[in-house]
Amino acid sequence: MSGAAAHARLTGVTRVYAGPTHVHALGPLDLDVARGEFLAVVGPSGCGKSTLLDVLAGLAAPSSGEAWFEDRRIAGTVPDGIGVVFQEDASFPWLTVADNVAFGLRRAGLDGAEIRRRVEDALGFMGLGEFARAYPAQLSGGMRQRVCIARTLVLAPRFILLDEPFGALDQQTRLLMGDELLRLWRRTGATVLLITHALDEAAMLADRVGVMSARPGRFIAFVPTGWPRDRDSRVVSAPEFGALTAQLWSHLRPESLRAMGQARA
């Protein structure tokens, strides 16, 4: 990462949920995400991954420390150029698939022809072409998540954050969706941060995998994968893949045990 200016940066960030429960959810942690990088983040459940995403996206203010995007301090609003795909289904159920995807473009005030062109392109790219006029409720969970990805990618964000977007999908679909995400990343040149609980997904997709500790989440290791840029899901059969996954697990296992203890306590 040396030489490249950080595209997004966290310095000394913590996040505490105030209130009667007072949960110290995150940090303190530092993070540099390089421009154009594909970074995966893994960590035990409840360690603060979604909280990390909220802070990076400008959806939540850090309790201490600073968040930066493109050399500007993030304060209070989501900066222009950031796209988020949430863990939960965030498609708008009252809009058709095409209208969901066009939502952000309409707000941006583009003209109709341009919107149609971009929407068609995004629908085609995500394999949603024939569902343009369907409503989200008529689609499976995986298809709805694709709608959300398409809605994000039409806006051509420079930094795409995804929070366990394939969590609800079966293994085969997840592998294929991973391929699509890689294609998307290569085509747009965007910086990607993918939160996942699946070690194989992280190992297969990312340039670099950040491993988080049990709550309050901090980074305990960054593991570079060394894959070429034009990789796809077939890297799972490469001999290094097993070693990589094993390495991630050796970092994560004690943290997962700790997180289980927290959950029981």
Ligand X SMILES: Nc1ncnc2c1ncn2[C@@H]1O[C@H](COP(=O)(O)OP(=O)(O)O)[C@@H](O)[C@H]1O
Instruction: Give the interface with ligand X as residue ranges (CB under 6 A).
Output: 17, 21, 23, 25, 43, 45-51, 215
Tell me the per-residue interface mask from 60 to 79 with other proteins, x by CB under 8 A, - otherwise: -----------------xx-
Shortest Å, Cβ 137 to Mg ion: 24
Contact between 171 and 199 under an 8 Å Cβ cutoff? The reply is no
Count interface residues toward other proteins (CB under 8 A).
24
Residue 62 binds which entry of Mg ion, ligand X, other proteins, none, CB below 5-8 Å type-dependent: none
**Under the criterion CB under 5 A, does residue 50 sit at the interface with Mg ion?**
yes
**Under the criterion CB under 8 A, does residue 88 sit at the interface with other proteins?**
yes
H runs (alpha helix) in 36-170:
49-57, 97-107, 112-125, 141-153
**Under the criterion CB under 8 A, does residue 194 sit at the interface with other proteins?**
no
**Under the criterion CB under 8 A, does residue 33 sit at the interface with other proteins?**
no
The interaxial angle of helices 171-188 and 141-153, nearest 10 deg, is 10
Contact between 183 and 28 under an 8 Å Cβ cutoff? The reply is no
Q: Which of these, 181, 212, 179, lies nearest to 194 by C-alpha position?
A: 181
Closer CB to Mg ion, 6 or 198, in the complex: 198
Residue 25 binds which entry of ligand X, Mg ion, other proteins, none, CB below 5-8 Å type-dependent: ligand X
Shortest Å, Cβ 122 to Mg ion: 25
Closer CB to Mg ion, 25 or 149, in the complex: 25
Stretch that binds Mg ion, among 44-52, 63-71, 127-135, 165-173 (CB under 5 A): 44-52
**Under the criterion CB under 8 A, does residue 138 sit at the interface with other proteins?**
yes
Shortest Å, Cβ 68 to ligand X: 20
Six-digit token string for 94: 């009252």
From candidates 68, 92, 222, 241, binder to other proteins by CB under 8 A: 92
Q: Is 257 helix (H, G, I), strand (E, B) or coil?
A: helix
Beta strands in the chain (DSSP E): 6-17, 23-34, 38-42, 64-69, 72-73, 82-85, 159-163, 191-195, 208-212, 219-224
**Amino acid sitting at position 186:** R
Shortest Å, Cβ 92 to other proteins: 7
Distance CA 123, CA 29 (A): 37
From candidates 26, 57, 115, 175, binder to other proteins by CB under 8 A: 57
Distance CA 125, CA 133 (A): 16
**Under the criterion CB under 8 A, does residue 219 sit at the interface with other proteins?**
no
Distance CA 198, CA 244 (A): 13
Q: Which of these, 148, 151, 201, lies nearest to 174 by C-alpha position?
A: 201
The residue ranges that bind other proteins (CB under 8 A) are: 57, 59, 77-78, 80, 82-84, 86-90, 92-95, 103-104, 107, 135, 137-139
